[in-house]
Amino acid sequence: MSAERARSRPIPRPAGPFVPAGSVRIFDTTLRDGEQAPGAGLTAAEKLEVARQLARLKVDVIEAGFPAASPGDFEAVRRIAQETRGGIAVAALARCKDGDPQRAIDAIKIAERPHLHVFIATSDIHLKHKLRIDRDTALAEAVRWVRYGREQLGRDAEIEFSAEDASRTDLDFLLQIYEAVVEAGASTVNIPDTVGYAIPSEFGDLTRRVVELIGGQATVSVHCHNDLGLATANTMAAIQAGARQVEVTINGLGERAGNASLEEVVMALRTRPTQFPDLGSGVVTEQLTAASRLVSYLTGFAIQPNKAIVGGNAFAHESGIHQDGVIKNPLTYEIMTPQSVGLTGSQLTIGKLSGRRGLQGKLRELGHELEGEALDEIYRQAVALADAKKEVTDADLLALVEQRTSEVPASVSLVGWSVTSSRGGNATGTVSLTVDGEERTAETTGNGPVNALFGAVDAALQPVLGWHPTLTEYELKAVSAGEDAQGQALVRCRRSSDEGPGALVVTGHGLSTNIIEASLDAYVVAVNKLHGAEINGVNVAFVSPRQGEGLR
């Protein structure tokens, strides 16, 4: 069909507005913008785990990824779209560029509620220096791909358009482009503060202008970055100005200083209803702590203790005056209850004689709904742990559940290891592994037991794989108090053959009461992720912002 005839065809009108009155739609972009945080790459299986937790949290939209960025991310988005039900939409991002929108559509078309998100930069800085196109071309491309998405997905799908760097875009041009994309079939227009430049009063004013112009025909959304620490404040100002979709991430994860944090925005709405009259979100806030822990664990991004809502100290009261007040009445110093964000406070301990049902109930309290084989596995591990240490605490259980979420298909398995180490001397480590079924053993020395054993893994792998893992980060922490505590090891590695800024970096976790075993397990998990990415590129998502040209 000629371009002219295509242009003259009537565009299907969206069946929306899709956001019910009285609601702010929570659009979670942890798996897209959040995953763009350097080093936060997740495997497809890990992305699915996070998506399941987001579904328990009952967000409205899960932005699952950027399918054109890599086959791995396409597959991850497709699997999330296939599995997510219960009225939750699955979004995929696409540039306004030939190929991208179709890839995104292919990944989400099986979703119960597909949500296509196309974007193009609109500020003169981006147009001139990054895209090297003029305003008219940007406008034409925006209209072209919005229209394409509407035609492909039909009336019932959500088609969202984002004007990247909107807060630094000439206002008249911004309003012109929003008007044009709504005419072309967009049902949501998004105002990204891409570089976190705006301040609340000005961002509220900008949002109000957009709401006045197109609020009757499309949902106005905002997407705030935290470069000045104002992402949540800007988001709340925008809601007061009429925005009815907010783009947020768990723990505020995201590019550079991150995005507006989901938990802060949702709890601000819930805690200050008079500031947001007749508005709410459908989020099950009792699932916030579990979501926060899971994302922190899988990405390896620790949560600062003083982080609002989900930081370790968010409900801790240190000074005597505060403690006295809270004991007399928690309202003195707590504006929300710990229970409302999913902190139980109880410390039921599991022993050898504890039942499976008791464990299930305890896990439910901690925000994890487990049954069948998954519950049996955690039960077996908890009972075994009760043999190895005096008591199994909440923290131990959470660590076991989290460890399960990061399992990867293993072509490299640890068969055995031994190490000798003494004060003042080098350590000598021996490791036996199977690599695709073939056994390999190596022995090396190092400046300590972990260094010696990691060296032995490297020596065993190099001749078979042609590379060995290069360790870029190593952390070890005790899961709970006590000398018999489990140690949780985190490693970050890349392939020795993969140098440079775009190199794939993966995380691996290990958990054991023996910290050397935990460290080795973490190292082998990282090896399997790197190997999996190398052989099929499918099981591993790892979308790097460096690969997504022009993407923030």
Query: Which residues bind to ligand KIV, rule: CB under 6 A?
Result: 33, 119, 162, 164, 190, 192, 194, 223, 225, 552
Strand partners, 473: 492
Q: How far apart are CA 476 and CA 296, in angstroms?
A: 15
- Cα angle 150-121-242, degrees, rounded to a multiple of 5: 70
Taking the complex as a whole, the smallest distance from the CB of residue 383 to ligand KIV amounts, in Å, to 45
Q: Taking the complex as a whole, how short is the minimal distance between the CB of residue 397 and ligand KIV, in angstroms? A: 36
Nearer to ligand KIV, 223 or 307 (CB): 223
Closest CB 425 distance from ligand KIV, rounded Å: 52
33 binds Zn ion, rule: CB under 5 A: yes
Q: Which helix (H) or strand (E) holds 58?
A: none
At a CB cut-off of 8 Å and minimum separation 6, what does 170 contact? 123, 124
Residue nearest to Zn ion (CB): 33
Q: Which is nearer to Zn ion, 224 or 524 (CB)?
A: 224
Helix (H, G, I), strand (E, B) or coil at 112: coil
Nearer to ligand KIV, 192 or 204 (CB): 192
Kindly state the smallest distance separating residue 255's Cβ from ligand KIV, in Å: 7
Secondary structure of 318-352 in HEC code, one letter for each residue: CCHHHHHHHHHCHHHCCCCCCHHHCCCCCCCCECC
**Residue 164 binds what, of ligand KIV, Zn ion, none (CB under 5 to 8 Å, by partner type)?**
ligand KIV
3-state SS, one letter per residue, for 472-539? EEEEEEECCCCCCCCEEEEEEEEECCCCCCCCCCEEEEEEECCHHHHHHHHHHHHHHHHHHHHHCCCC
What does the block give as tokens for 152?
Answer: 């492909």
Q: Which is nearer to ligand KIV, 193 or 394 (CB)?
A: 193
8, 255, 335, 367, 488 from 398: Cα distances, Å:
58, 28, 26, 10, 12
Sort residue 427 into left (φ over 0), alpha (ψ -120 to 50) or beta. beta
Between 246 and 442, CB nearer to ligand KIV: 246
Compute the CA torsion angle 480, 485, 489, 490 (nearest 10 deg): 0
Query: How many Cβ atoms are within 10 Å of 41's Cβ, its own excluded?
Result: 27
In sequence order, which residues have a C-beta less than 8 Å from that of residue 35 and are 6 or more positions away? 41, 42, 47, 65, 253, 299, 541, 543
Minimum distance, C-beta of residue 20 to ligand KIV, in the bound complex (Å): 23
Which ranges constitute the DSSP H helices of 333-489? Answer: 356-365, 372-388, 394-405, 449-465
User: Would you say 468 or 552 has its CB closer to Zn ion?
Assistant: 552
Distance CA 183, CA 243 (A): 19
Residue 528 interacts with which of ligand KIV, Zn ion, none, CB < 5 to 8 Å by class: none
Least Å distance between CB 121 and Zn ion? Answer: 12
Does 158 help bind Zn ion (rule: CB under 5 A)?
no
438 beta partners:
435
Q: What residue 53 binds from Zn ion, ligand KIV, none (CB within 5 to 8 A, per partner kind)?
A: none
Select the binding partner of residue 162 from Zn ion, ligand KIV, none (C-beta < 5 to 8 A, by kind). ligand KIV
Q: How far is the CB of 225 from ligand KIV (least distance, A)?
A: 6
Span from 30-38, 91-99, 445-453, 488-496 in contact with Zn ion (CB under 5 A): 30-38
For ligand KIV, the closer CB: 190 or 451: 190
Residue 119 binding: pick among Zn ion, ligand KIV, none (C-beta 5-8 Å cut-off by kind): ligand KIV
With a CB cutoff of 8 Å and minimum separation 6, the contacts of 172 are none
Closest CB to ligand KIV among 32 and 147?
32
Per the DSSP assignment, residues forming a β-bridge with 89 are 61
Nearest distance, CB of residue 193 and Zn ion, angstroms: 9
Q: Which stretch binds Zn ion (CB under 5 A): 29-37, 306-314, 346-354, 413-421?
A: 29-37
From the list ligand KIV, Zn ion, none, which binds 417 (C-beta under 5 to 8 Å, kind-based)? none
> Is 248 or 401 the residue whose CB approaches Zn ion more closely?
248
Question: Binding partner of residue 78 among Zn ion, ligand KIV, none, CB under 5 to 8 Å per kind?
Answer: none
Nearer to ligand KIV, 147 or 223 (CB): 223
- As measured in angstroms, the least distance from the Cβ of 36 to Zn ion is 8
Which partner, Zn ion, ligand KIV, none, binds residue 393 by CB below 5 to 8 Å per kind? Answer: none
Beta carbons of 64 and 31 less than 8 angstroms apart: yes
Number of residues in contact with Zn ion, rule: CB under 5 A?
2
Nearer to ligand KIV, 162 or 187 (CB): 162
CB 378 to ligand KIV: min, Å: 36
Task: Tell me the closest approach of the beta carbon of residue 82 to ligand KIV, in angstroms.
Answer: 24
The residue number whose beta carbon is nearest to ligand KIV equals 192
193 part of the interface to Zn ion, by CB under 5 A: no
Give the distance between the most distant pair of CA atoms in the chain: 81
Residue 170: Cβ within 10 Å count: 12
For residues 51 and 91, which CB has a smaller minimum distance to ligand KIV in the complex? 91
207 binds, among Zn ion, ligand KIV, none (CB under 5 to 8 A by kind): none
| Site stretch for Zn ion (CB under 5 A), options 31-39, 100-108, 161-169, 501-509 | 31-39
Q: Would you tell me how many other CB atoms lie within 10 Å of the CB of residue 21?
A: 8
Site of interaction with Zn ion (CB under 5 A) = 33, 552
